[in-house]
Amino acid sequence: MNTLVVFYSLEGNTKIIADILAEELDSDCIELKPDKEIPKGGLTKFFWGGKSVLFHEKPTLVNDLRSR
Ligand SMILES: Cc1cc2nc3c(=O)[nH]c(=O)nc-3n(C[C@H](O)[C@H](O)[C@H](O)COP(=O)(O)O)c2cc1C
């Protein structure tokens, strides 16, 4: 069975876990990246997140396949 780990990480926490999973599973790993930068600092990310949910925003993603 082929395994693929697909993840999104704003600040790197999920990336750490995804990389460990992909290593343990000996699988490919794809990081989903939005084409526009999402704010990371302070409370801005929570306002951005709330607005995105409220307006049903779906960012365009650029997939970055890192072969293992
Ligand atoms: C807009 C926004 C909404 C979030 N909502 C939740 C939530 O509902 N439950 C939760 O446990 N954490 C929530 N978090 C916290 C993130 O899950 C946490 O910061 C996580 O470590 C981020 O992972 P990352 O470093 O891969 O981006 C939220 C963070 C942001 C910015």
- Summarize pLDDT for 31-63 with one digit per residue, the tens: 998 998 888 888 999 999 999 999 999 888 887
Number of domains in the chain: 1
pTM of the model: 0.85
Q: Which domain holds residue 21?
A: 4-66
* Ligand 1 neighbours by CB, cut-off 6 Å: 9-15, 45-46, 49
Task: For residue 46, give the ligand 1 atom closest to its CA.
Answer: 1
Task: For residue 14, give the ligand 1 atom closest to its CA.
Answer: 26
Q: Which residue among 14, 32, 33, 37 is best mutated to probe the pocket of ligand 1, counting the most ligand atoms within 8 A of its Cβ?
A: 14
Task: Look at residue 41 in the predicted model and tell me its pLDDT.
Answer: 81
Residue with tokens 């990389």: 19
